[in-house]
């Protein structure tokens, strides 16, 4: 609630996403805020649970600024944590549920979290963590109702009061959450989000994906990932319905899309690939908007999703940018192009969000600290940098890493891209992914886009492997569509027709691809296997 007689000027209230929940609970008295299996929570019910949650935290000794960690799938308590923790003026640390005990322990220690709330599904890893951190206080949530040794989430809520709590005395630049990067090398870093950033990005997502009060949002994207791109706050802002999902299950997703009238979901292209290839795939009845990121969607997956009636919004960002900061905004004249030309344009990362503004650049490598734009020629490779309200406040307790990331007054993404004459950026590779073969740059993403066009191919990852003559050359790891067959030789010929010779993979291997919990292909796993014992220099 807003303090009825605040001391600050009448025209200045802090930007905070807690305002969204209060308004939704006030305006939408009967509407489902949450649907989870047989459970429905209205907005007033959700808000009452959030107030109990916040009061339970305070009763447990959590003070303003304390960190509260959660290890939860996309179930109601995870949404409640996105409001309840800030309502207690604490800082939310949402941990990737696929991490191993020692990684979780590191995050809990580094963030100095006072409390961990975990789902019974992760009871075993929580027990391992506690073996190392015997003083960590834990709260367990179990939707089977089983009793755990730790404090029970529902019992805590039941014991707390749901009296209103003022949320408007916060500084909008205060930290609302810390999200640890997945960190393929080195220890994870804690990315700090602010109340102001969360508010603006939540509305930005609503604008870019067209959320409104009639929307039903399906939780395919993990909320532990960049706070679910701020959708916990954005969906609530619009008074739309959160449809919960404990885990990615293509058949269940198709059933929920039909039964819950899903209008929006987000997911990596690998999630979309799993969906279009599932036997339950069917044309959708209601307009469906799917925001995708993590890797550029191939023209093929864009076409396949569109054939099922979904509209693909291609966005791009990093943990350091609250999730997406660019969108491949559609141009009216694209409608006149062929499906394949249009899909090609849509696979670019695009331009800044409306809410972010024109604060994305591609810059040359710099020796003197001054950032210079690359020419907008669609060819010159540079690094994507960005700034503004869509960028993190810094890395928690790591001023050195923050200073490095913010060199020259812009956040350095580490992503290599070209800048097209129309102003759209297109990632050619994450820094480590680029292949330098005989002095020539090869974009692994460009090669992947070609290979995946072959009808037998389901997914592909291209990485550099060592080569005596060229230093390194591309190799393709390929997963075939079930029931399809193709030889390495056939794929090579397919590529030769479509790529210059030096970009054609020198080897093809047929296998399943290693993926992160958010569905990103882990190229570094493939690379490490190929380079074991040898050192690869990275530019």
Sites of contact with a copy of itself (CB under 8 A): 1-2, 4-7, 9-13, 15, 19-20, 22-23, 26-31, 173, 194, 197, 203, 206-207, 210, 212-214, 237-239, 329-333, 351-352, 354-355, 357-359, 370-371, 387-389, 391-394, 406, 408-411, 422-423
Residue 83: name the closest of 135, 34, 22 by CA: 22
Q: How far is the CB of 208 from a copy of itself (least distance, A)?
A: 9
Name which of 389 and 441 has its Cβ closer to a copy of itself. Answer: 389
Name which of 312 and 476 has its Cβ closer to a copy of itself. Answer: 312
Q: Distance between alpha carbon 515 and the CA centroid of its chain, in Å?
A: 14
Alpha helices, H only, 452-500? 488-496
Contact 518/511 with Cβ under 8 angstroms? Answer: no
Strand partners for 119: 141
Q: How far is the CB of 523 from a copy of itself (least distance, A)?
A: 28
Name which of 42 and 517 has its Cβ closer to a copy of itself. Answer: 42
Tokens of 90: 């604490």
Contact 373/351 with Cβ under 8 angstroms? Answer: no
Q: How far is the CB of 232 from a copy of itself (least distance, A)?
A: 15
Name which of 155 and 285 has its Cβ closer to a copy of itself. Answer: 285
**Distance (Å, rounded) from C-alpha 496 to C-alpha 280?**
35
Name which of 391 and 435 has its Cβ closer to a copy of itself. Answer: 391
Q: How far is the CB of 87 from a copy of itself (least distance, A)?
A: 14
What three-state secondary structure class fits 29?
A: coil
**Distance (Å, rounded) from C-alpha 262 to C-alpha 255?**
10
Q: Provide the 10 A C-beta neighbour count for residue 18.
A: 28
What three-state secondary structure class fits 46?
A: helix
Q: How far is CA 296 from CA 20, 88, 479, in A?
A: 32, 38, 18
Name which of 73 and 388 has its Cβ closer to a copy of itself. Answer: 388
Q: How far is the CB of 32 from a copy of itself (least distance, A)?
A: 10
Q: How far is the CB of 241 from a copy of itself (least distance, A)?
A: 10
Q: How many CA atoms lie within 13 A of 517 on its CB side?
A: 16
Q: How far is the CB of 323 from a copy of itself (least distance, A)?
A: 15
Name which of 293 and 356 has its Cβ closer to a copy of itself. Answer: 356
Name which of 11 and 469 has its Cβ closer to a copy of itself. Answer: 11
Residue 92: name the closest of 173, 16, 195, 176 by CA: 176
End-to-end CA distance of the chain: 51
Name which of 130 and 387 has its Cβ closer to a copy of itself. Answer: 387
Residue 17: name the closest of 163, 162, 193, 210 by CA: 193
For residue 447, the surrounding DSSP H or E stretch is helix 444-451
**Distance (Å, rounded) from C-alpha 91 to C-alpha 170?**
12
Name which of 175 and 518 has its Cβ closer to a copy of itself. Answer: 175
Check residue 384 and report its DSSP letter: E
Q: Provide the 10 A C-beta neighbour count for residue 216.
A: 21
Name which of 4 and 455 has its Cβ closer to a copy of itself. Answer: 4
Q: How far is the CB of 354 from a copy of itself (least distance, A)?
A: 5
For residue 422, the surrounding DSSP H or E stretch is none
List of residues 6+ apart from 408 with CB closer than 8 A:
366, 369, 370, 371, 385
Q: For the chain, give the longest Cα–Cα distance.
A: 75
Q: How far is the CB of 331 from a copy of itself (least distance, A)?
A: 7
Q: How far is the CB of 277 from a copy of itself (least distance, A)?
A: 31
Q: How far is the CB of 111 from a copy of itself (least distance, A)?
A: 19
Q: How far is the CB of 366 from a copy of itself (least distance, A)?
A: 12
Q: How far is CA 132 from CA 60, 71, 126, 252, 313, in A?
A: 22, 17, 10, 37, 43
Name which of 164 and 438 has its Cβ closer to a copy of itself. Answer: 164
């Amino acid at each position: 609630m807003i303090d009825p007689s605040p001391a600050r000027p009448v025209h200045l209230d802090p930007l905070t996403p807690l305002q969204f929940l209060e308004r939704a609970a006030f305006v939408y008295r009967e509407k489902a805020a949450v649907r989870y299996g047989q459970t429905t929570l209205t907005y007033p019910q959700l808000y009452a649970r959030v107030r109990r949650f916040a009061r339970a935290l305070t009763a447990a000794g959590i003070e303003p600024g304390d960190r509260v960690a959660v290890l939860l799938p996309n179930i109601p308590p995870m949404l409640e944590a996105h409001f309840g923790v800030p309502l207690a003026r604490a800082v939310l640390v949402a941990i990737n549920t696929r991490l191993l005990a020692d990684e979780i322990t590191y995050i809990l220690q580094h963030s100095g979290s006072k409390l961990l709330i975990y789902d019974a599904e992760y009871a075993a890893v929580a027990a391992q963590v506690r073996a190392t951190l015997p003083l960590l206080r834990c709260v367990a949530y179990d939707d089977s109702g089983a009793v755990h040794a730790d404090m029970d989430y529902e019992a805590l809520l039941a014991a707390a009061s749901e009296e209103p709590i003022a949320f408007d005395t916060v500084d909008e630049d205060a930290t609302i959450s810390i999200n640890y990067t997945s960190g393929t090398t080195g220890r994870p870093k804690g990315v700090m989000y602010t109340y102001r950033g969360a508010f603006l990005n939540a509305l930005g997502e609503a604008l870019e994906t067209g959320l409104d009060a009639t929307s039903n949002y399906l939780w395919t994207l993990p909320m532990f990932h960049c706070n679910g791109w701020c959708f916990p706050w954005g969906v609530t802002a619009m008074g739309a319905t959160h449809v919960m999902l404990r885990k990615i299950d293509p058949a269940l997703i198709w059933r929920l899309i039909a039964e819950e009238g899903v209008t929006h979901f987000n997911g990596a292209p690998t999630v979309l690939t799993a969906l279009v290839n599932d036997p339950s795939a069917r044309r959708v009845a209601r307009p469906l908007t799917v925001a995708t990121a993590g890797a550029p969607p191939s023209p093929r997956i864009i076409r396949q999703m569109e054939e099922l009636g979904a509209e693909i919004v291609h966005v791009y960002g990093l943990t350091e940018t609250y999730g997406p900061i660019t969108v491949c905004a559609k141009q009216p004249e694209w409608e006149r192009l062929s499906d394949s030309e249009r899909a090609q344009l849509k696979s670019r990362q695009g331009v800044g969000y409306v809410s972010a503004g024109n604060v994305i650049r591609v810059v040359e490598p710099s020796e003197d600290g001054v950032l210079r734009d690359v020419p907008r020629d669609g060819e010159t490779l540079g690094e994507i940098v960005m700034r503004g309200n869509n960028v993190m406040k810094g890395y928690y307790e790591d001023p050195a890493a923050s200073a490095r990331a913010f060199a020259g007054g812009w956040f350095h993404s580490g992503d290599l891209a070209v800048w097209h004459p129309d102003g759209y950026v297109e990632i050619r590779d994450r820094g480590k992914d680029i292949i330098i073969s005989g002095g020539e740059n090869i974009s692994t993403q460009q090669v992947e886009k070609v290979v995946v066009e072959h009808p037998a191919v389901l997914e592909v990852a291209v990485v550099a492997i060592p080569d005596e003559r060229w230093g390194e050359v591309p190799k393709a790891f390929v997963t075939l569509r079930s029931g399809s067959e193709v030889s390495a030789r056939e794929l090579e010929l397919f590529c030769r027709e479509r790529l210059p010779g030096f970009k054609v993979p020198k080897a093809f291997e047929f296998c399943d691809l290693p993926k992160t919990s958010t569905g990103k292909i882990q190229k570094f796993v493939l690379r490490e296997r190929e380079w074991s014992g040898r050192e690869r220099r990275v530019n």
